[in-house]
A and B are shown apart, each in its own frame.
Chain A
Amino acid sequence: GQNIDQPTEMTATEGAIVQINCTYQTSGFNGLFWYQQHAGEAPTFLSYNVLDGLEEKGRFSSFLSRSKGYSYLLLKELQMKDSASYLCAVRDAGSGTYKYIFGTGTRLKVLA
């Protein structure tokens, strides 16, 4: 089956660094995506990994280990506007066609 897990909630302070973890079990892994979603709004793309290692994009970095079924999103220099839900999504080809399957999501609160 398919299983993508994230912590439900995290709290951090403005200016700090936070790491949001994602573990997955899928039958046909084909890439992992991170999205940010503010309440009532559409998810917006943050980062993408298909090979092992770290991808850096400004204040956001994402890491992938395919052998461990593990990824994390690292947010640096946290700002109040970073308070949102962060969704890990796996592109899976296990059923014979490609699907984007979303994890449980992590609600991040940034405190002043």
Chain B
Amino acid sequence: DTEVTQTPKHLVMGMTNKKSLKCEQHMGHRAMYWYKQKAKKPPELMFVYSYEKLSINESVPSRFSPECPNSSLLNLHLHALQPEDSALYLCASSQTVATNEKLFFGSGTQLSVL
């Protein structure tokens, strides 16, 4: 199994809603990542988890709250988002943060904030 699974694939939410994005991998990877990608732009790093601990937060607003309940799961909790937060949210994983190898990406959640 070399897949990273993200749910939901599409999400529409209002600015007062609370929602969560989910990401799962069963490759035994101990590094997991959230990226945000706007249309026609490259992915921008948001968070990195290493061995279930948050190791990088790229100054992301607190309305985005990551969580890594175990080594296979990564969540992104959303609250009071703004329309400019509409984007494709990509989850990725790698063996470890220190291992120099490729990232495995999920297919993403396309988020629209109304």
Seen from chain A, the residues whose Cβ lies within 8 Å of a Cβ on chain B are 30-31, 33, 40-45, 48, 50, 87, 89, 91, 97-105, 107
Q: Which residues of B contact A (CB under 8 A)?
A: 4, 33, 40-45, 48, 55-56, 88, 90, 92, 97-98, 100-108, 110
Name A's interface SS.
strand
The residue in A41, A43, A50, A107 that gathers the most chain B C-beta atoms within 10 A of its C-beta is: A43
User: How far does the alpha carbon of A42 sit from the alpha carbon of B102 in the complex, in Å?
Assistant: 14
Closest to A98 in B: B97
How far, in Å, is A52 (CB) from chain B's closest CB? 16
Query: Are B45 and A99 in contact (CB-based, < 8 A)?
Result: yes
List chain B residues, Cβ under 8 A from A99. 45, 48, 56
| 5 additional A-B residue pairs with CB within 8 Å, beyond A40-B88, A42-B108, A44-B105 | A41-B107, A42-B90, A43-B105, A105-B40, A105-B41
